[in-house]
Structure 1
């Protein structure tokens, strides 16, 4: 929070979310303010034939969303969701059956290099905490990216794709 000449206001944070699927990919842009996130842009497209094409398209779509809907504000972080198997710690997709040719593909380095922000990869169905605490299997997990679920079915769930640290 900052003092704006006697008034208090909250700074917003721009977050990116990417979903990699066997039939479609999606990019979502959200603006976090406090514990609330507003989806400000989204785009989905058929999954390209190669991992390189898919990652380039996802990066381009996220950059386009940030430029058009982000108001010139830089991204703060990017979360990626994808079906497994994955190596989330190393940011690699490990030959999921619905993504032929995605054998040991590093998805985080291109994002970190392009946007210069933290990026995280998680299995799409992995349960994780909600911004207001979470529970169940997520109990005891702290994460750095808030919930950016697209409740309209556009994939990308950085809540599940969050940078997670087990306590």
Structure 2
């Protein structure tokens, strides 16, 4: 008889496999558009928070300031990010995506979604059930974290 821990491991490995495969497809899409996944993530943060500083981007990504600085410099050099002086602090700069940056992000995700479109061949009811189950799992994880039982 299978132990519950073994079954849980199988479920968790399934999540990992899906994540790895979709990330690989995103990487392929990003390479087609001459952008890295990290640059894509930075671009999404800047897109969501126009005017964000590089320090805030570093915190959001849990990366060092010098690492983010290099990534952002390459994105500025590529014409995808604009750096403007902050209104609050003359030593600080806000970051925004240029039209070129927005187009690159959109084009990359368009390719990514095109690759994954066959997922919609799975019956809609099955996908709806999958989303419901994912939400149940997230709720359980939130409860475990809130109770400090991990």
TM-score between both structures, scaled by the size of structure 1: 0.22
Greater share of strand residues, 1 or 2?
1
Larger Rg: 2
